[in-house]
Amino acid sequence: REAGMVFGNLLGTIVTNATLVLGVVGLISPISLPVGIRAYLIATIAFVVVFGVFWLLVRTKKRLDRWEGAVLILIYLVFAYWELVRAGGK
């Protein structure tokens, strides 16, 4: 039960920072987004999707199998590689 609260809190924080805060700022005064914000928003959306899949896997079976752990690690490695390539191009 506590683990579910931790995951819910983490997901809620990410969604709030990515959508609510940016939306309120846009309502107060239109802003032009820096070039880097697009990559941040894409990464945030990807994280939310991956987290949702992870949550469904754990929630339905009450466990995380080795192959699912391997998939999550692979997703992380792809993300880390993407970040390194993107940072190297600047």
Tens of pLDDT, residues 48-71: 788 787 777 777 777 778 887 888
Residue 90 pLDDT more than 60? Answer: no
State pTM to two decimals. Answer: 0.48
What distance in Å separates the CA atoms of residue 12 and residue 34, rounded to the nearest whole number? 24
Choice between 2 and 69, residue whose per-residue pLDDT is larger: 69
| Residue 16 near residue 44 (C-beta atoms within 8 A) | no
Q: Which of 46, 64, 51, 40 is nearest to 11 (CA)?
A: 51
| Residue 31 near residue 25 (C-beta atoms within 8 A) | yes
Domain extents in the chain: 2-88
DSSP summary character for residue 89 = T
Residues listed for the chain: 90
Tens of pLDDT, residues 22-41: 788 888 988 777 777 777 77
Please provide the average confidence, as pLDDT, over all residues in the chain. 77
